[in-house]
Amino acid sequence: MKIASLPTTTYSFLGRDFEMSVRDKKVVAVALACIGLFVLQLGLSLSLALCFTTTVTLLTYLFPREDQDWLSWPNDKSEEHSIKWISALLLAKPFLITLLFLALGLPLPGVPQVGILEYLMRYPITGLLKTSLLAPFTEEILFRGFLFERLEDLHLSRRVSQGIQAVLFGLAHLNKKIEEGYEMAVVLPITIFGYFLGSRKSKSGSLAGPLALHSASNLGAASYIFLRFAPIN
């Protein structure tokens, strides 16, 4: 199969210049995201993780989309401004909801994702890093990047592609330990959030916004869980 040559961008690192095409950047990002997801997050065996990583990376290499450089920063200043404000809101969201519940005299809701709660209580630093940095990077690259692109390769409409990746994104979170009977209470908001992130990616053509918003949302939630449930010595 003949691979068409793609335009390249020159980067400088440690005093040396090197060129990378859009395809090259995507291949590196997808490979790193696969390792982060399959090895560090899901804990799959090395052989299984290597098999999945090779398959996904090979698909990225064989079917490049030079018209979609979702690893670049959006040039739209209004988009950059909105990212900052929405990120701040997502970061503060769990604390604002708590204040609202307290003001209304309502009991505070629990945390149905007990797996995340237990991990944060046991490994607070690692848990915060994984939820606020590793998870957003791997999930945005693979769901809003790789998967979204492959769905569009099937000539599906943008909205249908957004919907499919959002549903799969929500269902993917069932792999974590969830309190029995609360599965839909976890999956539905995550699916809606996944659709929102997909719409931001479609609007800007970049994953910078979705990654920042995803990171802010996870950091706010993880910080709230830790501050609320961590034992006081």
Regarding whether 122 and 52 lie in a shared domain, the answer is no
Q: How many domains does the chain have?
A: 2
Domain boundary among 23, 50, 67: 67
Q: What six digits make up the tokens of 8?
A: 């390249």
Average pLDDT over residues 146-152: 94
Same domain, 60 and 78: no
> Scanning the structure block, which residue is given the tokens 């003001």?
103
Of 232, 228, 231, the closest CA to residue 108 belongs to 228
| 86 and 9 belong to one structural domain | no
Query: Is residue 123 domain-shared with residue 180, that is, in the same domain?
Result: yes
Domain that holds residue 16: 1-67
Q: Which of 211, 191, 190 is closest to 200 using CA atoms?
A: 211
Give yes or no: residues 54 and 168 share one domain: no
For the segment 22-44, what is each residue's pLDDT rounded down to a tens digit? Answer: 999 999 999 999 999 999 988 88
The domain boundary residue, chosen from 34, 67, 100: 67
Looking up tokens 């939820």 gives 131
For residues 138 and 36, the answer to whether their CB atoms sit within 8 Å is yes
Kindly report, residue by residue over 102-113, the tens digit of the pLDDT.
Answer: 999 999 988 899
Last residue of a domain, one of 67, 87, 105: 67
pTM of the model: 0.91
